[in-house]
Structure 1
Amino acid sequence: MGISITGLSGFDTAQMVNDLMALERIPYKNLESKKTNLRSEQNVFRNINTAFSTFSTALTNLRYAADWNKLKATSSSNAVSVSSSLNVTPATYDLNVKQLATKNVVEIDASHMLDQVNAAIADPAKELKIGNYTFTEDDLNAIAELDGDEAQLKKLAQIINSKTNTEDGSNATASVLKTSSDGNFKLILNSKNTGEGPENAVSFTLGTTNIIDDSHASVINKAGKDAIVDVNGVTVTRSSNTFNDLAEEGLTFTLNSVGESKVTVGQDVDAIVKNVKSFVDAYNNLISLVKTNLSKPADDSKMNPLQGDSLLKRIDSQLYSIFNSIVDTSGGKAWMEQIGLSIDKGVGKASLMTGKITFDEAAFKDALVANPQKVIDLFAKNERAADPDNGIKADPGGIITQFTSIMSSYTSTVNGMLSNKITGYDSEIKMIDDRLDHMDRRLQMTEARLKLQFSTMETMLSTLNNQKDWLTSQLESLNKSK
């Protein structure tokens, strides 16, 4: 670092050095500004590259005919609900639910039930058993040691419920019901499964005696019922309210109430509309980024640095051209505006054009229902190469097919135009960084040289001032001696 002597000459030489260095740094600062602008422009292309990636994902969901032929099962009423897998085929089912499947319900008075518990305690040879579960001695003692019918029944119900879903467990769920304000209680048993068959009924025995006996006054046994439903005029019964073997594999019906319903297996229009919306949103986001950076600023004194960029113009033009393509479909020539998608429809002034797609969902659904294959072809028709020998012309395919075919030319990491553009900025920014490093070293040397020069000047001026003072004192001495 150079020596700096300030003030001997009467001048602020440090400030003079700073002012001179400020002038020297102007080219450096201009280069820094250029680097900042290049970074900003590069970020624009990075964002556009990301938008292209999102757009590519949206295209994938509409690219193949299979994406349009996914089916969905719907029910016309709450009497029946339906679910389907992806492999079902179109069909219609008219259902008339006449009876729901119910569980076997058993109501046992507290006194009768607890008599069975006490009998099992008194005679261990008589096993108390519900379904496949045999009450243990500990179970029975845990019930008996409690006071009152309510407490004992609740303990009994707790043991039954703890074994409902075990392999060697009960075939019922239990609850306790207070039937009067006088403190009368009942044990309520519901069979684990619905249906009429004995395999679906509650089984409760003491030794060889069936506790659940319809003839016993303390027991009410309501048998379970099978579901009964007419399907396209044919009566069908099942022990369950869920039918997964009624029609084809992958179609499951659930009966909710008595009543009629029409179940239709058809094209999943809602899923298709959702995918088209994603396509529209991704396109609009992409074109908005392009248009914003191509457009002239509202302030005439300013200029958009990418206003005339050739790559942005190419993207803008190509996206617009493909979207407005006329496609030869199975239903004749078709274009997007016919099915409810349009760009700047009715806008006559260039300054008001956004380049964005508007999506008329109702018009699209109408077109899809009227001629689904025509709509599918418009979006997803395959590309076809020319075959002059057989008189076959080239066909670029549907709109999504065309968009997909150009995608790699922009986004490929090897030779994509956007990737090359971004890499080009990296190279230019690196060159600027190298120049900035070189200029910074030169500026440091210039500042050191200026400080040394001004320091030398201060020293010389100091010497001259001393000589002046000596001469002045000599002259004054001579004058006094006369």
Structure 2
Amino acid sequence: MSTMRITGLSSGFDTDQMIKDLMKIEQSRVDTVVAQKVKVDWTIESYRETSNVLRSFTDSYFDVLKPTTNLRSASFFDVYAAKLTAGGVTNSAITADPLAGATATTVSFESITQLATKDSWKSQGVTGDFSGDSDPTFTLNLTTINDAITSGKNTFKFSFDGVEKTITLDGGYVGLDGDPLVDGSPQFTTELTSKLNTAFGTGFSASVVDNRLVIGNSESAHEMKISGDLIGELGFTANQTNYLNVNETILGAFNLAGDQSFSINGVDFTFSETTTIKDMMAEINNSNVGVLISYSTISDGFTLASTQTGEAFNIDLRDANGNVPDGSGNSFLETALKLDTTGRTAGQNAIFSVNGVQTSRASNTFTLENVQYTLNQTYTEVDAINVNITADNTDTIIENIKDFVESYNKIIDDISGKINEKALRDFQPLTSEEKEALSEDEVKLWEQKAKAGLLSNDPILSKILSDLRTVFYEPIDGLNISMKDIGISTSSNYKDNGKLVIDEAKLKDALVNKTDQVIELFTKQSSTTYSDTDRATRKSENGIAYRVYDILQDNIRTTRSSSGKKGFLIERAGVKGDTTEFVNEMQKRIKEYDSRIADLLDSLSSKEESYYRLFGNMESVLSQMDSQFQAFLGQLGG
């Protein structure tokens, strides 16, 4: 709340102005600290600008998800390209990918007789017909069904392959010889069969087996679902389907008590009756026996497939007695999972003819003379598929390297510019009053000069620049090739601050004739990990790309090291979107300045009050003196 004051009545002084003038001295102390805080804010911005430049550089040239632009990947240096034709026309039956060490060559595939496949055992109709409650204590009873129908619960909803219809039962069912059990009532099952066939067409049948109502269809692999009022009396549960519930136990799903055993590829499996189907499949899949098992509601069946193609990886499946399930036995594999040789498609090798030689491979993807081939389809045409490997990608790689060097040189410009920039001491942050006296353009120009030199000789930026310079001329352990040997070197002009220059002719020659060495020069990776304390060994063993990447990570890493620290620039000034945005070394200084400014403002307010009290006292004294003087004059006049 502002205070209204009436001053100078006795003295005639402009007390407010006098106090404002006196307070300017005090305000200047606040302005000085505010200016210091503003400089810290600007410094944070400048640090973050550099962090963003380094992060963008990292994303462009060191992203593992982009191998063709990732300098740490051999794919960046794929000089050789493959062209596949048959009879002069591009052919897609084969895919060819030149790898490190590839050379110019031509390969002919005369035929692809068969592709490599996985061994697969498939079943269907596991659950078979649609059955009601398997609870042995439940009893289907005509009296119970009739009573429910009489009370109005005479319908249920039945869904067949997604088409739902309401089935209405007439009731009044009588068992044979008055027996209330449904087993002895063809009247009930005959009516239910008729109702289902009328609703959905022919093929349905209703029967009672082991005290369970069974609804069947002459065709397999149909989805059936039941719901509604009457289902409880019929022995079904709400929304029950005819497909296997993988969360059910072996006992509940297959009505099999006791342990169930079998072996896959020589590994024995035993599951208790309380094991769920889901857990059984998970144990098999996690056992590393080279197979995967799954259940499909579409086919209502299991699929047991090898994880790799080829005859060598065919599945050796045997029941508890060591027999291969062929459909004639009564093992768990055959009766419950319905897996047997009748549903098996054995895995096979790929068979093809290359350069006149018939050969085979377990996989459709294989390597010949440092070229990775993938067979996509069979091929038996007259014209052979010719694969021509040539150094067609050289120019593209050179352009990518030039882009890298250009981006790298911009970083050198950015960092060296900030380190070498001189501060303009005559230009300090403007106060609010000073900004009001200037135009917007004048303020921008002033602040541009005031920001100069904020990171002059900064130790973090200086170290980044120094580390980057050493990357390109220090030798790499185990290699007899350098960056200079492939046409990339640092500029001889000291004013360039270590920028890179390229001899394109020399670089092209190295890419074509020393491909493997060039790849090693960039992508060689030390056995010493990034988190290891022995950084000197890691640096000496690392190739150029890993050296540069390590320097970038040292400074902009947002993950914490074993000591709990993030990158140097991140610790110093933070980064937006991370906890360091508000918790970093520079923010601590900001908080200190905020505290000092608050204290100074409190002191400023107290000082202003003291001045007003001082002048107020003076006014009181002058007023008293004036009163006394007027009284004295009055006495003289008397």
TM-score range, shorter chain: 0.5 to 0.7
Instruction: State the match for 2:335 in structure 1.
Output: none
Does the aligned pair in 1 maintain the 2:81–2:391 contact within 8 Å?
Answer: yes
- Give the partner amino acid of 2:38: T
User: For each residue in 1:256-286, what CA deviation from the matched residue of structure 2 results, as whole angstroms up to 9, or x when unmatched?
Assistant: xxxxx99654462244234323422332232
Please state how far the C-alpha of 1:42 moved relative to its aligned partner. Answer: 1.5
Aligned mate of 2:46, from 25, 33, 44: 44
Instruction: State the match for 2:458 in structure 1.
Output: 309
Aligned mate of 1:341, from 488, 511, 515: 488
Instruction: State the match for 1:193 in structure 2.
Output: none
Instruction: State the match for 1:426 in structure 2.
Output: 587
Alignment of 1:213-228 (within 5 A): none
Alignment of 1:7-22 (within 5 A): 7-8=8-9, 9-22=11-24
Q: Taking structure 1 as reference, are residues 405 and 463 closer, same or farther at Cα in structure 2, changes over 3 Å only?
A: same
Instruction: State the match for 1:242 in structure 2.
Output: none
Gaps of 5+ in 1: 96-231, 233-247, 252-260, 387-392
Does the aligned pair in 2 maintain the 1:294–1:304 contact within 8 Å?
Answer: yes
Alignment of 1:244-255 (within 5 A): none
Name the SS of the counterpart of 1:465 in structure 2. Answer: helix
Instruction: State the match for 2:517 in structure 1.
Output: 374
Q: What RMSD, in angstroms, separates the aligned Cα atoms of the two structures? A: 3.9
Please state how far the C-alpha of 1:24 moved relative to its aligned partner. Answer: 0.9
User: For each residue in 1:107-126, what CA deviation from the matched residue of structure 2 results, as whole angstroms up to 9, or x when unmatched?
Assistant: xxxxxxxxxxxxxxxxxxxx
Q: Taking structure 1 as reference, are residues 82 and 277 closer, same or farther at Cα in structure 2, changes over 3 Å only?
A: farther
User: For each residue in 1:224-263, what CA deviation from the matched residue of structure 2 results, as whole angstroms up to 9, or x when unmatched?
Assistant: xxxxxxxx9xxxxxxxxxxxxxxx7689xxxxxxxxx996
Quote the Cα distance in structure 2 between the aligned partners of 1:24 and 1:315: 42
Please state how far the C-alpha of 1:35 moved relative to its aligned partner. Answer: 0.6
Alignment of 1:445-456 (within 5 A): 445-456=606-617
Quote the Cα distance in structure 2 between the aligned partners of 1:436 and 1:343: 48
Moved over 6 A (4+): 79-86, 298-303
- Give the partner amino acid of 1:311: I
Quote the Cα distance in structure 2 between the aligned partners of 1:372 and 1:320: 25
Q: Taking structure 1 as reference, are residues 335 and 288 closer, same or farther at Cα in structure 2, changes over 3 Å only?
A: same
Does the aligned pair in 1 maintain the 2:82–2:387 contact within 8 Å?
Answer: no
Matching of residue 59 in structure 1 with residue 62 in structure 2:
yes
Matching of residue 284 in structure 1 with residue 409 in structure 2:
yes
Q: Taking structure 1 as reference, are residues 14 and 396 closer, same or farther at Cα in structure 2, changes over 3 Å only?
A: same
Quote the Cα distance in structure 2 between the aligned partners of 1:21 and 1:309: 37
Matching of residue 355 in structure 1 with residue 358 in structure 2:
no
Instruction: State the match for 1:326 in structure 2.
Output: 475
Quote the Cα distance in structure 2 between the aligned partners of 1:86 and 1:457: 100
Does the aligned pair in 2 maintain the 1:62–1:275 contact within 8 Å?
Answer: no
- The TM-score normalised by the length of structure 1 is 0.55
Q: Taking structure 1 as reference, are residues 364 and 49 closer, same or farther at Cα in structure 2, changes over 3 Å only?
A: same
Please state how far the C-alpha of 1:427 moved relative to its aligned partner. Answer: 0.8
Does the aligned pair in 2 maintain the 1:339–1:367 contact within 8 Å?
Answer: yes
Q: Taking structure 1 as reference, are residues 378 and 6 closer, same or farther at Cα in structure 2, changes over 3 Å only?
A: same
Name the SS of the counterpart of 2:489 in structure 1. Answer: strand
Bigger Cα displacement from structure 2, 395-404 vs 354-363: 354-363
User: For each residue in 1:158-205, what CA deviation from the matched residue of structure 2 results, as whole angstroms up to 9, or x when unmatched?
Assistant: xxxxxxxxxxxxxxxxxxxxxxxxxxxxxxxxxxxxxxxxxxxxxxxx
Name the SS of the counterpart of 1:342 in structure 2. Answer: strand
Q: Which has the higher contact order (CA 8 A, sep 6+)?
A: 1
Bigger Cα displacement from structure 2, 38-47 vs 466-475: 466-475
Does the aligned pair in 2 maintain the 1:71–1:86 contact within 8 Å?
Answer: no
Alignment of 1:288-299 (within 5 A): 288-297=413-422
User: For each residue in 1:407-440, what CA deviation from the matched residue of structure 2 results, as whole angstroms up to 9, or x when unmatched?
Assistant: 3322222312112111100111111112212222
- Give the partner amino acid of 1:285: K
Q: Taking structure 1 as reference, are residues 298 and 25 closer, same or farther at Cα in structure 2, changes over 3 Å only?
A: closer
Does the aligned pair in 2 maintain the 1:7–1:13 contact within 8 Å?
Answer: yes
Instruction: State the match for 2:437 in structure 1.
Output: none
Please state how far the C-alpha of 1:463 moved relative to its aligned partner. Answer: 3.4
Aligned mate of 1:399, from 540, 544, 555: 544
Quote the Cα distance in structure 2 between the aligned partners of 1:344 and 1:471: 95
Does the aligned pair in 1 maintain the 2:82–2:96 contact within 8 Å?
Answer: no
Does the aligned pair in 1 maintain the 2:93–2:375 contact within 8 Å?
Answer: yes
User: For each residue in 1:385-409, what CA deviation from the matched residue of structure 2 results, as whole angstroms up to 9, or x when unmatched?
Assistant: 59xxxxxx87522111212233332
Q: Taking structure 1 as reference, are residues 430 and 374 closer, same or farther at Cα in structure 2, changes over 3 Å only?
A: same
Q: Taking structure 1 as reference, are residues 73 and 309 closer, same or farther at Cα in structure 2, changes over 3 Å only?
A: same
Q: Taking structure 1 as reference, are residues 3 and 298 closer, same or farther at Cα in structure 2, changes over 3 Å only?
A: closer
Quote the Cα distance in structure 2 between the aligned partners of 1:426 and 1:46: 13
Q: Taking structure 1 as reference, are residues 404 and 29 closer, same or farther at Cα in structure 2, changes over 3 Å only?
A: same
- Give the partner amino acid of 2:30: Y
Instruction: Name the % identity.
Output: 28
Q: Taking structure 1 as reference, are residues 94 and 312 closer, same or farther at Cα in structure 2, changes over 3 Å only?
A: closer
Name the SS of the counterpart of 1:358 in structure 2. Answer: strand
Does the aligned pair in 2 maintain the 1:5–1:455 contact within 8 Å?
Answer: no
Alignment of 1:94-243 (within 5 A): none
Q: Taking structure 1 as reference, are residues 5 and 48 closer, same or farther at Cα in structure 2, changes over 3 Å only?
A: same
Please state how far the C-alpha of 1:319 moved relative to its aligned partner. Answer: 0.7
Please state how far the C-alpha of 1:342 moved relative to its aligned partner. Answer: 2.6
Instruction: State the match for 1:158 in structure 2.
Output: none
Name the SS of the counterpart of 2:75 in structure 1. Answer: helix
- Give the partner amino acid of 2:469: Y
Matching of residue 464 in structure 1 with residue 464 in structure 2:
no
Aligned mate of 2:556, from 411, 428, 439: 411
Quote the Cα distance in structure 2 between the aligned partners of 1:399 and 1:23: 58
- Give the partner amino acid of 1:463: Q
Quote the Cα distance in structure 2 between the aligned partners of 1:417 and 1:287: 18
Quote the Cα distance in structure 2 between the aligned partners of 1:31 and 1:264: 69
Quote the Cα distance in structure 1 between the aligned partners of 2:23 and 2:426: 31
Gaps of 5+ in 2: 64-69, 109-354, 356-372, 377-385, 428-451, 530-536, 574-583
Does the aligned pair in 1 maintain the 2:19–2:612 contact within 8 Å?
Answer: yes
Quote the Cα distance in structure 2 between the aligned partners of 1:296 and 1:62: 32
Does the aligned pair in 2 maintain the 1:71–1:267 contact within 8 Å?
Answer: yes
Please state how far the C-alpha of 1:19 moved relative to its aligned partner. Answer: 1.3
Q: Taking structure 1 as reference, are residues 310 and 326 closer, same or farther at Cα in structure 2, changes over 3 Å only?
A: same
Quote the Cα distance in structure 1 between the aligned partners of 2:92 and 2:28: 72
Quote the Cα distance in structure 1 between the aligned partners of 2:22 and 2:426: 32
Q: Taking structure 1 as reference, are residues 326 and 85 closer, same or farther at Cα in structure 2, changes over 3 Å only?
A: farther
Instruction: State the match for 2:218 in structure 1.
Output: none
Higher percent of residues as helix: 1
Quote the Cα distance in structure 2 between the aligned partners of 1:298 and 1:431: 24
Quote the Cα distance in structure 2 between the aligned partners of 1:424 and 1:71: 50
Does the aligned pair in 1 maintain the 2:105–2:390 contact within 8 Å?
Answer: yes
Name the SS of the counterpart of 2:480 in structure 1. Answer: strand
Quote the Cα distance in structure 2 between the aligned partners of 1:52 and 1:471: 85
